[in-house]
Amino acid sequence: MRRSLALAALSSAALLAGCTVGPNYAGPPQAAPNAARAPGFIRAGNAPVTPAAPLARWWEGLNDPVLDTLETRALAANPSVAAADARLRKARAALKLEHANGYPNASASALYAHAHLPGLNLGQGGNSSGNGGQGGGDDTTDLNLYNVGFDASWEIDLFGGHRRSVEAARATAGAAAAKLADAQVSLSADVADAYVNLRDRQRRIALNERSVTMQEQMLGLTRQRYAQGAASKLDVARLRNQLDSTRAQIVPLNAERDAYLDALATLTGEEPGALDALLTPARPLPLPPAQVAVGDPAALLQRRPDIRAAERALAANTAKIGVAEAARFPRLSFMGIIGIGGTSPADLTHLDDFTALLAPQLSWSFLDFGRSKARVEEAKADRDEAEANYRAAVLGALQDANDSLSRFRYRRITVATLARAKQSADEAEALMEQRYQAGAATLIDLLDARRQQIAADQSLSMAEAGLTGDFIAIQKALGLGWGPAES
């Protein structure tokens, strides 16, 4: 009879457990419907872009093996990525914990107790000592107790509160995975930016040092001409001022070069100075490929880690409404105890002589003066905030993509213009070389033409570094540079 009642109670609880309160998550809202339907929504202009799927390891398109090495080392050892990975593992552990919370909680116990009790007469069951029975108040009893027990408790998920908790934990773990990917995206872009700036500073330092050498020669020749009366003191002062200005430009460039060396070491998880041997030898500035693959806006919205993190946060906050709603309804739990024992160790072997208890408990905080309702409203406000954050993430991603493509487009025009200026400076230097060899121009004229050639090269170097930086910004805006997290 007792078994039938227990089975009936469990069956009723299982039927009730099919109810799940709270809203079901139906996916994110349409934050930018035009972008999903129209591939031309992202403004590319006349930039050399293609709708082909971009590369996840986009830095390999720059064809620089040193940069490839730095990216690999950074993704493996950067502290920020390691911290994001730890947060992901924590979120996955929390999900496992929520799953486990839905099952019964069981524990076993063993007890031995010895009691020395006054004023008790248990007959043969105890050991009394005192004044031979006179003055019963002086009687004492020694009592041993042995017990082995097993107890279990289980809360039935009547209204789906636990199921919503699992749903929220799963979405939170997904958000943590997306944030890890976002950290990888930012890291890969930061490493490439620092590397490009380092190569640009090294190149400009070398050009400035060449310019200093030529200006020193020009100043020396001008001083000789001044001593001979063929040049004015103003000419000497002008060249000396120009030389000092060029020397002064090298100082901040050296400081910036050292800063980028230290930044790259830190980004790869090393102490400052650890990569100097690898990076001090100058290498050409990496340039972007002729065609930049950007895919389409719909793929962008699915790939950007910050958008995926915002969507998973929205899903988690939607599920938490159900958790708050379920707390407003009754809670049903079962507790069961089985134990054997007695006053001697032999009693532990009497398996047919046991104590059993099955106790269902129903609790309901129906009079909480609006606390549960306030928690539901709080959860709904969190969900609305998460939805607004998702919309902001989508619109911000599209803006990033458009802005980076626009900058890349106009930077190409700047680079092309400065490349023509550099070509003109090269031609002028070659013509001045011919005139100097023919005796129609002085050495000072030739050195000045070479100085202008170096200046044009410096301007072009800065523009090319900016172009590669804009290419890096495109890859970051596209959400590239991350790999799947390990399970």
Q: How many helices (H) and strands (E) does the chain have?
A: 11, 7
The alpha carbon torsion through 164, 165, 166, 170 (nearest 10 deg) reads 100
131 within a domain of the structure (yes/no): no
When comparing pLDDT for 105 and 121, which is higher?
105
136, pLDDT greater than 70: no
- pLDDT score, position 128: 46
260, pLDDT greater than 90: yes
pLDDT band for 411, please (50, 70, 90 cuts).
very high
Q: State pLDDT tens for residues 345-367.
A: 776 676 677 677 777 878 788 77
User: What residue numbers bound the domain in which 413 lies?
Assistant: 18-115+143-477
- As a whole number, the mean pLDDT across the chain is 82
30 within a domain of the structure (yes/no): yes
- pLDDT score, position 336: 76
Domain count, the chain: 1
Which of 282-291, 325-334, 452-461 is least confident?
325-334
Question: What CATH number does residue 244 fall under?
Answer: 1.20.1600.10
150 within a domain of the structure (yes/no): yes
11 within a domain of the structure (yes/no): no
Average pLDDT over residues 412-426: 92
**What backbone phi and psi angles, to 5 degrees, belong to 52?**
-65, 155
- pLDDT score, position 485: 54
When comparing pLDDT for 144 and 62, which is higher?
62
pLDDT band for 419, please (50, 70, 90 cuts).
very high
Most confident of 9-13, 258-262, 402-406, 452-456: 258-262
Q: State pLDDT tens for residues 226-257.
A: 888 877 888 788 888 988 888 898 999 999 99
User: Can you tell me which residue has the tokens 């493509």?
Assistant: 405
pLDDT band for 130, please (50, 70, 90 cuts).
very low
Q: Please tell me the distance from the alpha carbon of residue 260 to that of residue 278, in angstroms, as a whole number.
A: 13
Which pair of structure tokens corresponds to residue 50? 């293609």
Instruction: Give DSSP secondary structure letters for 27-90.
Output: ----S-HHHHH-GGGS--TTS-EE-SPPPSSGGGGG--HHHHHHHHHHHHH-HHHHHHHHHHHH
Q: State pLDDT tens for residues 48-86.
A: 666 666 778 899 989 999 999 999 999 999 999 999 989
485 within a domain of the structure (yes/no): no
**Length of the chain counted residue by residue:** 487
Residues 6 or more apart in contact with residue 22 via CB below 8 angstroms: 160, 164, 318, 319, 321, 322, 323, 324, 325, 326
